[in-house]
Structures are given as structure tokens and as C-alpha cells.
Amino acid sequence: MKIFVDTANLNEIREVHSWGVLAGVTTNPSLIAREGRDFIATIHEICELVQGPVSAEVIAQDVAGMVKEGKLLAQLSEHVVVKVPLTPNGIAATRQLSDAGIKTNVTLCFQPAQALMAALAGATYISPFVGRLDDISVDGRELIEQIVAIYAQDPDLDTQVLAASIRHPIHFIQAALAGAHVATVPFKVLQQLFLHPLTDKGNEAFLKDWQKVPDPDICGAVERFLATRR
């Protein structure tokens, strides 16, 4: 399962990118508004940094408007993925954008039939919202499993399942076990994926014991050893 970060904050994106595990970025109008920066400049800068899929959402609600915005957004970078809502107009726009060779991310998916409609329209990604379903006592993991199973029945469907609304590490693991191709995760949750008290405890013990080694400077020791072999 690939990892996308769900943010429009460039500092957060740079940090995750430095870990060497980032495959892409998703944004939405709320995330863009939170940063208070120019939308177009932000998307372009993210694309230049990540060099991978970057979802940029249309605002228009009519088919013609979505298609127009989507085609313009796609000109910003080859990495732009046009994000459209899972509405009848959004599905119609997805078909037109897909036919034009433009990648799409159909968002706000909450049930399997919606996911099938998006795939039939040629969506590149479908975004089931795990956390928002859990908020209303519906199993978000089951939705991912159902979508993955439905897509597997038809080899002509190549839409990728992009698990969204990931609220905590358990959602992340559930998405992976359910067969999601991608999980888009907030920066805070990505940080939490590293945390375990036994990891910290073990690392502290190793470092403490290492101070007892006669020559604890690994780099210096290696350089001196190699010098004797030249």
C-alpha cells in the first residue's frame, strides 16, 4: 500500500518526503483554505516537490464547470490528479476528463455502489472515507474490502482504492489489510505510526550500552580501519 499525505502544508510535505516513503499528496478546499496561500501556486509547488500524484479539487458543481476547471488544473503539472465529488455531475465530469487522458480522484465515497459508478466512469482513484463512516458507527474497513472485492471481479476496472479520512494508526493498518492500494494520511497520524514505547526503550538501552564500547565513534573507527587496508 502506498502512502499519500493529506495536507496542503508544504513544511509537512517536505518532512514526510524526507523520510523516503511518500508517493503522493491529497488536498481539498478545506486544507487549502487552512494554509491561507494561493491555491494554484501551492499545487504547483507541491507537484514540483513530490514528483508524484497530487490531488487538486474542482469547485464547480456543474459538469461543464468541473471539466473546464479540471482541464486547466491538469495543465499545472503532469502530476495533478483532478479531484471531483461523487455526484451524478461529478461522475459525468470524470468520464469526460478520463476520456481526455486526465487522471481523476473521485472523493466522498461512502458505499460500494458509488465506487463502482466511479470506476465505470474511468476514475483513476476512488476515495472511501473510513473515519467519517466510523463516526456514524459504520465499519469503514468493510467498505474498503467490498470495493476491492467488486473491482477484482472485473479485470477491465483499474481504479485504485485510496483510503481517506484516516484518523489514527488503526485505520491505516485496517486499510492495508483490506487491500487498499493507497492510504492518504494526515501528517499527525503519519508521525504516530513510528510510536511505540518499546521502540524508544530499546533504542535508549542500545545507546547506553554502546557508550561502554572502547571506540564508540563508528565513522571514525571505520575510516581508520579502511586507512590501514589501503
Amino acid at 204: E
Concerning whether 83 is annotated as a catalytic residue, the answer is yes
What cell numbers appear for 44 in the block?
504547483
Whether the CB-CB separation of 188 and 12 falls below 8 Å is answered with no
Pick from 122, 91, 131: which is nearest to 107 by CA?
Answer: 91
Report d(CA 45, CA 71) in Å as an integer: 18
**47 phi and psi, to 5 degrees?**
-60, -45
Catalytic member of 83, 103, 201, 212: 83
The grid coordinates of residue 128 equal 472511501
Identify the three-state secondary structure at position 96. Answer: helix
Beta partners for residue 163, in sequence order? 183
Radius of gyration from C-alpha coordinates of the chain = 22
Residues annotated as catalytic (active site), given as ranges: 83
